Every structure is written in C-alpha cells, then in structure tokens.
Amino acid sequence: MRFRRLKLSGFKSFVEPAELRIEPGLTGVVGPNGCGKSNLLEAIRWVMGESSPKSLRGGGMEDVIFAGTATRPPRDFAEVILSAHDSAGEELEVVRRIERGAGSAYRINGRDARQKDVALVFADAATGAHSPALVSQGRIAAVINARPAERRAMLEEAAGIAGLHVRRRDAEQK
Ligand code: ATP
Ligand code: MG
C-alpha cells in the first residue's frame, strides 16, 4: 500500500482545508514547535480508524475538532481523507468525519463503512493505526515502560498478526 494524499479540514490545528501530497521522496516534515507536525501523523492514524482519543492526545474523540482560538470560532466537524494505492495498486479513498454530538462516520471509496471495515483495509498491510510504521512522539519510552501484556500487543502488531485478531474478534461476534 502506498499513501498518496492526505486532506484535512477542521482537524485539530488544520482549521482551513489543507492537502499534503505524499510523493516518493518525501522524507520529512519540518516546522517550529506546535505548527502541527504531530497533528498530521495523528490525522493519518485517525482516518485509519484510531478509536482511542488518548492516543491522539485528547480526552474525548471530539477533541480532534478544531476548538477555536482567540480570533477564530470553533468548527462543528473534522474531516480527513486519505487517498492511497492499495496493495493491488487500486485506488483507495478512506474518509472519516466527526460532527459534534454525532460521532464518527466512515466512507471507503464513496460507500458508507464501519470502523472495523476500515481497520481491516489497513490491518493486513501492516499500516494499521497502531502499526510499527507509525511511531508517535514519546512512543519509544512507552514501549520501554509498558506492562508485559501491552508490550506483547505491540510485538504482535510488529509481527503483522494483529489483522488476524481483528478477524477472530469479528468471527466470535457472529
Ligand atoms: P513539536 O515540534 O513540539 O512536536 P508539532 O509540530 O508536532 O510540535 P503539534 O503537536 O502537531 O505540533 O500541534 C500542536 C498544536 O495543535 C497546538 O498549538 C495545539 O493548540 C493545536 N491543537 C491541537 N488540537 C487542537 C484543536 N482541537 N483545536 C485547535 N488547535 C488544536
Ligand atoms: Mg510533535
């Protein structure tokens, strides 16, 4: 899978619609403290189905919506669109949108989808919201300080078997 484009609107500090083209050769995003570098990475995790507000540095999921500043009113919604080529080279577009009081909604290639559909799209490609390829600021220390069960979950993700757990949970619910 190859990510191609990230569009954000009302997500955290990205109040105005913004687009990041992820082209071959992109190796870094630089900018002063607080300019939104980590928010970009969190937007990628969020659109891939992240369900823990805490791992997005928030208290509740609505904290990802632009909260307003002294000069700008808050927004009512946040939306992130991730465009990619999937492992078969096909176009993939995943949209996640959250509205105040209404929760999150997902779309995959224009169709309504559930969080677990989105999680499955990414689970097998080792690109999930918690994949070892997405290491948040402070995460190295978290691995070192984790309890054994937590560390095991991280290692399973790294070994690429987390997708199997998603499927097993899915099967157990049926
Ligand atoms: P550093 O170099 O310190 O790691 P960074 O570039 O990673 O900085 P971020 O942590 O991505 O910066 O951005 C932090 C900024 O995002 C802060 O100014 C914070 O106020 C703003 N921010 C986070 N959530 C929201 C929100 N819901 N609404 C408005 N602004 C937000
Ligand atoms: Mg940061």
Residues that place a CB less than 5 A from ion ligand 2: 37-38, 137
At 11 the three-state DSSP class reads strand
pLDDT in tens, 70-125: 999 999 999 999 999 988 899 999 999 999 999 999 999 999 999 999 988 887 65
pLDDT in tens, 145-163: 999 999 888 788 777 666 6
Provide ipTM, 2 decimals. Answer: 0.98
Which residues lie across from 138 on neighbouring strands? none
Among the bound ligands, the one closest to the CA of 57? 1
Residue 96: partners with Cβ closer than 8 Å, 6 or more residues away: 46, 47, 49, 79, 80, 104, 105, 106, 118
- Pocket around ligand 1 at a 6 A CB cut-off: 12-13, 31, 33-39, 63, 65-67, 137
Residue 54: partners with Cβ closer than 8 Å, 6 or more residues away: none
Q: Note the CATH number of domain 2-173.
A: 3.40.50.300
Quote the pTM value.
0.85
Query: Which ligand 1 atom minimizes the distance to the CA of 32?
Result: 2
Residue 70 to residue 144: CA distance in whole angstroms: 39
**Residue nearest (by alpha carbon) to ligand 1 atom 23:** 12
Which pair of tokens denotes residue 161? 């078997």
Residue 47 to residue 50: CA distance in whole angstroms: 7
